[in-house]
């Protein structure tokens, strides 16, 4: 959990994809995140957290369903959404999130 805290406390925005291997919609999000990463490059760090392997992190952020995407900046949640988000929507959110 402390490594995760170090990551989300970054000055750089961090998008966390909470997922599970058994989750169908989570498999749809993976290529979307790859496309988003190619567009935002180093402006945003994107990490994936498997809720089955990291239940304490999922619990700490009240992740009740997957996929859940949470955008952090300096340790604070700037945006979150459960479910699939399209590439254009996500790029827009990452570029225009409050204080991101």
40 has catalytic annotation: no
Determine which one of 14, 15, 26, 90 is catalytic.
Answer: 26
Determine which one of 7, 20, 23, 40 is catalytic.
Answer: 23
Taking Cα atoms as reference points, which of 100, 94, 92, 74 lies closest to residue 17?
Answer: 94
19 has catalytic annotation: no
Whether a cis peptide bond, with omega within 30° of 0, leads into 92 is no
- Point out the residues that are catalytic: 23, 26
């Amino acid at each position: 959990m402390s490594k995760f805290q170090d990551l989300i406390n970054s000055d750089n925005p961090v998008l966390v994809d909470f997922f599970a291997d058994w989750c169908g919609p989570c498999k749809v999000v993976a290529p979307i995140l790859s496309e988003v990463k190619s567009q935002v490059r180093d402006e945003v760090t994107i990490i994936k957290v498997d809720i089955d392997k990291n239940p304490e992190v999922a619990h700490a952020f009240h992740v009740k369903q997957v996929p859940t995407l949470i955008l952090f900046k300096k340790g604070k949640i700037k945006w979150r959404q459960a479910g699939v988000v399209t590439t254009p929507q996500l790029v827009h959110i990452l570029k225009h999130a409050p204080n991101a």
